[in-house]
Chains A and B, each alone.
Chain A
Amino acid sequence: MGEIITIIDYGSGNLRSAQKAFQRAAYENDIDVEVLVTDDAELVRKADRIVLPGVGAFADCRAGLLAVSGMRETLEEKVLASGVPYFGICVGMQLMAERGLEKGEHEGFGWIKGDVVPITPSDRALKVPHMGWNTLHKHQTHPLFADIDTGPNGLHAYFVHSYHLVVTKTEELIAGANYGGEITACVGRDNMIGTQFHPEKSQKLGLTMIANFLEWKP
């Protein structure tokens, strides 16, 4: 019997492609898992791994998640207390921060020390949102980056965002990208990881990273 992966549905974004990407990564790597998209906290309680996607504004995503009965408590119980592997994607990653400063000041989960702030490229010709394919550079080695080439000649990840999570503790910054300055691309500690980019849209890099997450034993 394979593991159960739950992708949390709280009315935000494009869950079908996330589900398909997790299924594809599992299939290509011979990993036996069941990938469920759910808004049922009870199902999440039974999950072996949890994925929190999210597109849109920080406050809207936060409100959407809090509106799902029992979800916040279940997440904290599973991720903080039980140590179940957690993967936050885009705003699902930003919500791990202490605060989000998009359209007002909003409280995050506080799992990663730091704030979600606007990106401000030093070169005024650079457009915001930071939209498209960029390479990554690692600040820490991490199992989720196994078999992924990083650096200027490495693989590309797909970004689309105007805010990013600036961490307080440097050891929680796993990878960055360059866009008129440093952009936070990946954060993590213990059993939790979060990417600003979209692994489900990042072709080879993304599918490899998802497979690494499915096999991750933090």
Chain B
Amino acid sequence: MTLKTRIIPCLDVKDGRVVKGVNFVDFVDAGDPVEAAMAYDAAGADELTFLDITASHEGRETIFDVVARTAEHCFMPVTVGGGVRTIEDIRKLLLSGADKVAINSAAVTDPDFIARAADKFGNQCIVVSVDVKQRLSQGVGGDNCSEWEIFTHGGRKATGIDALEFAHKMVELGAGELLVTSMDCDGTKNGFDLELTRAISDSVPVPIIASGGVGTLDHLVDGVKIGHASAVLAASIFHFGEFSIGEAKAHMAKNGIPVRLDKS
């Protein structure tokens, strides 16, 4: 009897459509995020994350409809990230049916926003999403710095902010969870940045979601066992049918990681 390690598929959504599509069998519309959400719900995903990468302001309204339609069909926790900058953004997402919001750039530009959001909606609702890269050279940020730096704007903009220091600050301000994405590993399929994940996880009290780089099921296991993550997030290995959620859970269970295997 224990808390189970969560497997979280992540869907990138642009203008209300899944980017790159999701390659499941029996899909009528591979670009419909709600259909993908329902498939993951049925497959036993523990949570679902929508990352809204819509660029235009008008297009941003589409995510509320996606979340609302998902909430009609899926009775599982949903996190929504991408462009969350104001208390009103959060309120609208929660009223649409989201349970948590992931805040990225706004946490860097306006850290106090995290405190206000956590006060208003509770720490449990506020996920701070940190995009991290290894520093190009050691000691760039001065002494007492870790080897990792925070990036914003989808990993394009360096901030000079130390990743470990930032993680501490966010938790202090009220982040209930940290989604840690290694920009170095993202898309490589070579596995999570385990050192980074572990360094952050071991130094803050809140759960860490490891993200970026998953290519095999062993990578998920490593993220938990070596990286000390409470949850693992992956996109492409699930979307393109390389592995199912069930296979991922079976593999983790075989490696001694407690997972939820309820029949729905």
Contact = CB atoms under 8 A, between A and B. Distances in A.
Contacts of A198: 77, 99
A99 to B, nearest CB: 19
A181 B62 CA distance: 43
Nearest to B121: A56
B189 interface: no
Given A16-B71, A17-B97, A162 B124 contact: yes
Contacts of B1: 134-135, 137, 151-152, 177-178
Contacts of B59: none
Interface string B106-123: 000000000000011111
Interface residues of A, number: 45
Interface string A169-184: 0000000011100000
Contacts of B162: none
B72 interface: yes
Interface of B: 1-6, 41, 46, 68, 71-72, 75-77, 94-99, 119-125, 176-177, 205-208, 228, 230-231, 260, 262-264
7 contacts: A14-B95, A126-B3, A127-B206, A132-B207, A133-B46, A162-B176, A177-B1
B176 A55 contact: no
Contacts of B231: 132
Contacts of B68: 16
Given A17-B71, A55-B125, A133 B4 contact: yes
Contacts of B206: 127-129
Given A129-B206, A155-B262, A178-B1, 8 more contacts: A14-B94, A16-B96, A17-B71, A17-B75, A55-B125, A131-B176, A137-B1, A200-B75
Per CB-CB distance, the 9 closest pairs between chain A and chain B, nearest first, are A56-B122, A178-B1, A160-B124, A127-B207, A133-B260, A16-B97, A17-B71, A133-B4, A152-B1
A20 interface: yes
B123 A129 contact: yes
Interface of A: 13-17, 20-21, 24, 55-57, 60, 125-135, 137, 151-152, 155-156, 158-162, 177-179, 198, 200-207
Nearest to A204: B264
A203 B264 contact: yes
B71 A20 contact: yes
A152 B3 CA distance: 11
A133 B72 CA distance: 21
Contacts of A160: 77, 99, 124, 176
B177 A129 contact: yes
Contact of B6 (A14, A132, A177): A132
Contacts of A21: 75
